[in-house]
Structure 1
Amino acid sequence: MARVRLIGPEAVTVPELGHREVQPDEVVEVPDERFEGYVCQPGTWEAVEEPKTPAAKKSAAKPQKEN
């Protein structure tokens, strides 16, 4: 499981976590395969611990070949 921190200004209810209310600055565990769905919202969530499984990590951009 990966871990993310709520950095938004207000508590949020997260349906994916059993409708749990997450408080600002609280760290929660999320499924590895859903990690990107949280950290793609940089105004709300920040990464604390990335997924351990390589398949769960997806790069937003592929490295370019040098000519």
Structure 2
Amino acid sequence: MARVRYIGARPVTVPELGGRAIEPDQVVEVPDERFDGYVCQPTVWEPIEEPREPEPAAPAAMKKTAAKPRKEG
């Protein structure tokens, strides 16, 4: 989770954070994927800890088909 500081002048309620009341100068955790939605408002929020880089996904295992039995006869 990323972290931002609320730098507004008055307490606000943030529905996205469970309807919590956020006080001026309070640092809160926000979902990594929503970090940009907060810091794009520089008069209200300032970044404290940016989202972590996602770990690279392991390559998908290749599926192998079963060999068909040979028909003798």
- Is this a same-fold pair by TM over 0.5? yes
Question: Runs of 5+ in structure 2 lacking a partner?
Answer: 55-73
Residue equivalent to 1:32: 32
Task: State the shift of 1:2 in Å.
Answer: 0.1
After the TM superposition, which residues 55-66 of structure 1 pair with which residues of structure 2 at under 5 Å, given as runs? Answer: none
Amino acid at match of 2:35: F
| TM-score of the superposed pair, with normalisation by structure 1 | 0.78
Residue equivalent to 1:61: none
Structure number with bigger Rg: 2
Off by >3 Å, runs of 4+ in structure 1? none
Task: State the shift of 1:53 in Å.
Answer: 2.6
Task: State the shift of 1:28 in Å.
Answer: 0.1
Aligned residues: 55
| TM-score of the superposed pair, with normalisation by structure 2 | 0.72
Question: Runs of 5+ in structure 1 lacking a partner?
Answer: 55-67
Name the structure where helix makes up a greater proportion of residues.
1
